[in-house]
């Protein structure tokens, strides 16, 4: 995997049927997630469980947004989850690049209706 990988966080909530299956059969969920991500060219970094909300978070590396969407589609098609969300995570350096790039648009983009705010009589 020599290509640059993107970092993603996948937040999920199990359905009640999934919780029932988990109580009946305690298999290794991290191995299943790792295999899925690996098949998409990615890598599992870690899984965290949110005790308060009975949900989980997967932090992983994937090659692109299409791979992240494929992971989302593959997992939600099973009906095991009530809710799954995928977010791309940025490093501090990437955020600096975003801010620098956004600054280059200041002379190009004017929010619609801004003239009315700047000139209240207009």
- What does the pLDDT profile of the chain (122 residues) look like in tens digits? 457 899 999 999 888 888 888 889 888 889 999 999 999 999 999 999 988 888 899 999 999 999 999 999 998 888 888 888 999 999 999 999 999 999 999 888 888 887 777 766 65
Backbone angles phi, psi at 117, to 5 degrees: -75, -40
Instruction: Evaluate whether residue 30 is within a structural domain.
Output: yes
Please tell me the distance from the alpha carbon of residue 114 to that of residue 72, in angstroms, as a whole number. 39
What is the reported pTM?
Answer: 0.79
Instruction: Evaluate whether residue 40 is within a structural domain.
Output: yes
CATH number at residue 77: 3.30.70.100
Q: Are 72 and 86 in contact (CB under 8 A)?
A: yes
In the chain, how many domains are there? 1
Q: What is the pLDDT of residue 71?
A: 93
Structural domain harbouring 82 = 6-90
């Amino acid at each position: 995997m020599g290509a640059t990988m993107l970092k993603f966080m996948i937040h999920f909530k199990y359905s009640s049927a999934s919780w029932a299956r988990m109580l009946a059969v305690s298999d290794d969920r991290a191995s299943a997630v790792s295999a899925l991500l690996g098949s998409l060219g990615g890598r599992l970094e870690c899984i965290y469980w949110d005790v308060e909300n009975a949900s989980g978070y997967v932090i992983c590396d994937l090659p692109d947004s299409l791979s992240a969407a494929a992971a989302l589609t593959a997992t939600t098609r099973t009906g095991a989850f009530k809710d799954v969300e995928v977010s791309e995570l940025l490093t501090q350096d990437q955020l600096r690049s975003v801010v620098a790039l956004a600054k280059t648009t200041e002379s190009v983009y004017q929010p619609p209706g801004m003239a009315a705010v700047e000139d209240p009589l207009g």
